[in-house]
Each structure stands twice: as structure tokens, then as C-alpha cells.
């Protein structure tokens, strides 16, 4: 198993550009989520998904879109990049959606800089 993979590892954008951060998992997990982590700060939940076709907002969803067409993939789209979106983005997955006992598995992160 590759676990949770994220691409790209690094990305530099100019203000106003759009891009998609890719996330995939091969563990047949129902639950997937995106977090952002600003320098020296904790993780903040952007969006999450409890299964294919079902997504919901987290703590900081503005400026981001997600979709979940398959169980494996959960891309995060930045519609019009802003310098405030400079951050490290982590994707995570867990087996189910209704138990606090499920462990979350995190990807290696994407470091995004918006100029």
C-alpha cells in the first residue's frame, strides 16, 4: 500500500492563478479531508468527504473547492490563489466516518507559495 499520496510536493503560484492539489489513497477509506497548516500553527480543516459524491465544509473553506468522484481521490481546487493561501496542505483519510476510534492517515503534504 502506498497509503496517502499527494502531488505536487511544492508549488509556486502567482496571485489569481488557479490550481488543483491532488490526493489519493489506496486503503479503501471512506473518509478523506484536507487541512492547511500555516507556519508555526496547528492544522485547520478545509473540507472533508464521507464518501464518493459527498463533501462538506470544515473550518476554513473559503477560496477552495473539492469534489469526490471516486473513493480513492479527493482533489482540492484553489479557484483564484491569494497570498493568504500560502501554506502547507495535508490530505488525510480514515476508514469510516462514524467512529472516533478511527485513525487518520496523513499524506506528506504540499508546500504552496502564492506570490
Partner 1 sequence: LAKTTQPISMDSYEGQEVNITCSHNNIATNDYITWYQQFPSQGPRFIIQGYKTKVTNEVASLFIPADRKSSTLSLPRVSLSDTAVYYCLVGEPPSGTYKYIFGTGTRLKVLA
Residues 14, 82: Cα–Cα separation, whole Å: 8
Compare residues 17 and 27 and give the one whose CB is closer to partner 1.
27
- Residue 64 has a CB neighbour count (10 Å cut-off) of 19
Site for partner 1, residues 10 to 29, rule: CB under 8 A: none
Residues 107, 65: Cα–Cα separation, whole Å: 19
Options 35, 66, 85, 112; binder of partner 1; rule CB under 8 A? 35
Interface residues with partner 1 (CB under 8 A) are 4, 31, 33, 35, 41-45, 48, 50, 56, 58-59, 90, 92, 94, 97-101, 103-104, 106-109
Amino acid at each position: 500500500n502506498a497509503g496517502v499520496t499527494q502531488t505536487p510536493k511544492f508549488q509556486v503560484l502567482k496571485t489569481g492563478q488557479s490550481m488543483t492539489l491532488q490526493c489519493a489513497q489506496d486503503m479503501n477509506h471512506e473518509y478523506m479531508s484536507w487541512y492547511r497548516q500555516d507556519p508555526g500553527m496547528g492544522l485547520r480543516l478545509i473540507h472533508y468527504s464521507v464518501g464518493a459524491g459527498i463533501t462538506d465544509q470544515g473550518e476554513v473553506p473559503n477560496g477552495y473547492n473539492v469534489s469526490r468522484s471516486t473513493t480513492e481521490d479527493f482533489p482540492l481546487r484553489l479557484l483564484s490563489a491569494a497570498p493568504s493561501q500560502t501554506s502547507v496542505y495535508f490530505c488525510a483519510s480514515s476508514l469510516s466516518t462514524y467512529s472516533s476510534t478511527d485513525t487518520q492517515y496523513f499524506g506528506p503534504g504540499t508546500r504552496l507559495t502564492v506570490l
